[in-house]
Structure 1
Amino acid sequence: MAGLHMIRSYLSESEDSDTQDESKINRDEVPSSGKNLLQRFSVPESILSFKGTKHDEDVHDDPSQHDGRTRTFKHERGNWATLVYINYAGSNPIHSWLRKLPQQIAIKEDLKFYTEFHLSLTRCLVLKFHWIKSFVESLQKLCQSTGEIVVEFRDLKVYCNEERTRTFLGIRCEGRNKLLEQFVVNIDKILAEYQLPSFYEEASFHISILWCLGDVTEKLNAWLPTLNESLNSIYAEHFLHSFEVSKINCKIGNKMYTFPLKQRYT
C-alpha cells in the first residue's frame, strides 16, 4: 500500500505542476515499462472517490447556488479545502440580540445572518491528499498537549475578505492569558512543515455573525457605536464575557475531525 500511495502522490503532484488531466495523457508517449506500471498499479475506486466527488468529474463554481459567494481558489482534484476552528454554540441572550439586529442596521444591502458560529484558527487552506493523515495526527497531538482555552469577548468589528467580495460583522475575541494566541502559533508551526500559509500576521480573532456581498465596510462601520452599545449591555446584564473551549474542530473536504483538549485537573 505504501508503494501505491507514492505512485498516486507522484501523479497528483505532476497534475499540479503541469495542470494536465490524466485522461489527456498521450499513452503512446509513455514508455512500455511505464504503461505496464500504470496498468499494474491502477488506483482503486474507493481511494479515487474518497473526497466525496467523483474523481473524473469537473467541479464548476455556481455563485447562484451559494448566495452569490465565489471560491477563493480553484477546485482541483487531490486538493482538499481545510479549516481549523472552534465551534461557538452561543447563548439565549446572544441569539435574542441577533434576531433584533436586522431592525438596527439600516443599509440597502442584503444582510445574511449566520445560524451557526465559529472562530477560525487558520486561513482556508489547501491540503494535498497524501498530507491529510500526517496533518491530522500532528493536530491531534498538539490538542492533547494543550489545556482548555478561555475565549473572552470584546467589541464588534467589520471585516472584509482579501478579494473585497464579501463583508462581515464579527464579535472580536481574545484568549485569556494569551493561550489562544499561543495555540495558533503552534498550529502555524505545523503548517510550515507543509509550506502552507500561517494565520494572519496581525490576527484579529472573531466570530462572524452576519455577512453581505461586496465591500460595505464604511457603511457597517457607521453603525458600530450603536451596535456595540447594545451588545455591551447584553454582556453586562447576563455576565456573558467569555466561554471555555474544550475541543478543536478541523474540516477537511467533506470530512470532520474533533480533537479534545487536555482536561484541566483539580
Structure 2
Amino acid sequence: MALVQYSDSESEEDLSQSLSSPRPAKRLCPSTATPVSSLPPLPKAFHDLYASNTRISVKDDPSLHGGRKRAIPHVEGNWPTHVYLEWYPSKEELAALSNLIAQIEGKLRRSKVEIKSLLRSDLGAQLPLHISLSRPVILRTEQRQSFLETFQSAIKDSNILAFNVAAEGLHCVSNYEKTRWFYVLRLKKPGNDGLNRLLGLSNRALALFSQPPLYEASSPILNADAGSRGSMQRERSKVHGQTDPTDYSHCFHISVAWSLTEPSPDEKDHIANIDIQESSDFDIHFDCIKAKIGNNITNIPLHGVIG
C-alpha cells in the first residue's frame, strides 16, 4: 500500500483580535503568580495560524526540505489541497512516540538508513500528526470555494459523530512516487466507522473536481467544469447520498517518521515486530476534519460538535 504525503468555541476572528490587541500585564501575570498550568488551553484555531512555513522558493529545492522533492510542481493559479484529521499528542504520548522512533532507529542501525522524526521541527517545536483523507491534490483558483462548500455541506449532512481511534501495529510504507518511506502506526477501525465514512465523502467531493481518490484502485472522475450549474448540483447530491461498501480500514495510518532510503525486507519485518503496547494505549480523539487549500486551513466540526 502506497502512502500519501501529507476556549474551543472561539472563532478565528475572535482569535486574531485577541492576538492583535495587547492586554494589561496584570491580566496575564496577576500578582498572585498563578501557575502557567492553570491557564486555559489554546483555541484549536491557534495552530492553524502558523501551520505553514514561509515560502522560501517556488522551485523544487530539496536542500530546503531535508532532501525531499516537491511532489506537485508550483504553478500559478494552482492550489495544493489536502483533507485530513489532525492530532497533537500530549506530553506523555509524545514521550512514547519518541521512544518508538528510537527503537526504529535501533533496527536500522546496521544499514545506516537515516530517519527523520515527524514529531518536532528542526527548531524543536512540536508538530501535529495526521490521518490523511485525501491525496495531495490540486484545485484551480475558481474551484476552491465550490469544493469547500460542497465538502462542508456533505460533512454537515453526514451525521458522523466525533470518534476515537487506537493504534494496532507499526509498518514501513512508501509514498506513491517511491521517493520516501514512512514509518507509520496502523489504526484500529473505530466503532462508528468514521474513517471509512469520511474518506468516502472526501473522495466523492474531490471527484467532482477531477481529482483522484485516496486508496481506491479506480473511481469515476467527474469534470466540474463541464455541464450546466444544474448538472453540478446533481453531482453534488451524490456526495451526500452515495455509500462506499469497500472497507479501507487497513490503509489508515499516522506517520511518525520518514527516510529517503528504503529499508531492506528483513528490516521492515523487524520494525513490524516492535512492541507498540505503550502507543496502542492511546485513545486518539477526533471531533473535526481539516481541509487545507494553499495556506488556508478550514476546520469542519463533526456532527454534534460546536465549531
**Partner residue of 1:186?**
201
Q: Which runs of 5+ in 2 are unaligned?
A: 1-52, 120-127, 218-247
Aligned-partner SS, 2:113: coil
Q: Distance in 2 between matches of 1:217 and 1:81?
A: 33
Q: Distance in 1 between matches of 2:181 and 2:270?
A: 14
Alignment of 1:197-236 (within 5 A): 197-201=212-216, 203=248, 204-216=251-263, 218=265, 220-227=267-274, 229=275, 231-235=276-280
Alignment of 1:102-117 (within 5 A): 102-104=101-103, 105-106=105-106, 107=108, 108-115=112-119, 116-117=128-129
**Partner residue of 1:31?**
none
The answer to whether the 8 A contact 1:159-1:217 is kept is: no
Q: Which runs of 5+ in 1 are unaligned?
A: 1-51
**Cα distance change on mapping 1:251 and 1:234 into 2, 3 Å:** closer
**Partner residue of 1:170?**
184
Compute the displacement of 1:262 (Å). Answer: 1.3
In structure 2, give the amino acid aligned to 1:216: P
Relative contact order (C-alpha < 8 Å, sep 6+): which is higher? Answer: 2
In structure 2, give the amino acid aligned to 1:119: I
Q: Distance in 2 between matches of 1:141 and 1:212?
A: 38
Aligned-partner SS, 2:166: strand
In structure 1, give the amino acid aligned to 2:117: F
**Cα distance change on mapping 1:128 and 1:171 into 2, 3 Å:** same
> TM-score, length-normalised on structure 1?
0.70
Does structure 1 residue 245 correspond to structure 2 residue 286? yes
Aligned-partner SS, 2:304: coil
**Cα distance change on mapping 1:117 and 1:234 into 2, 3 Å:** closer
**Partner residue of 2:222?**
none
**Partner residue of 2:302?**
261
The answer to whether the 8 A contact 1:82-1:250 is kept is: yes
Higher helix share: 1
Count of aligned residue pairs for this structure pair: 205
Does structure 1 residue 125 correspond to structure 2 residue 137? yes
Q: Distance in 2 between matches of 1:152 and 1:247?
A: 17
In structure 2, give the amino acid aligned to 1:255: N
Does structure 1 residue 157 correspond to structure 2 residue 139? no
In structure 1, give the amino acid aligned to 2:85: I
The answer to whether the 8 A contact 2:113-2:261 is kept is: no
User: Could you list the per-position Cα deviations for residues 90-126 of structure 1 after superposition, in whole angstroms to 9, with x for gaps in the alignment?
Assistant: 2333311222245423321221111221110001111
Higher strand share: 1
* Percent of residue pairs identical: 29
Runs of 4+ aligned residues of structure 1 deviating over 3 Å after TM superposition are: none
Larger Rg: 1
The answer to whether the 8 A contact 1:151-1:180 is kept is: no
Q: Distance in 2 between matches of 1:102 and 1:233?
A: 13
> TM-score, length-normalised on structure 2?
0.61
**Cα distance change on mapping 1:226 and 1:92 into 2, 3 Å:** farther
**Cα distance change on mapping 1:132 and 1:113 into 2, 3 Å:** same
**Partner residue of 1:73?**
72
**Cα distance change on mapping 1:220 and 1:257 into 2, 3 Å:** farther
- C-alpha RMSD of the superposition: 2.5
Aligned-partner SS, 1:222: helix
**Cα distance change on mapping 1:102 and 1:152 into 2, 3 Å:** closer
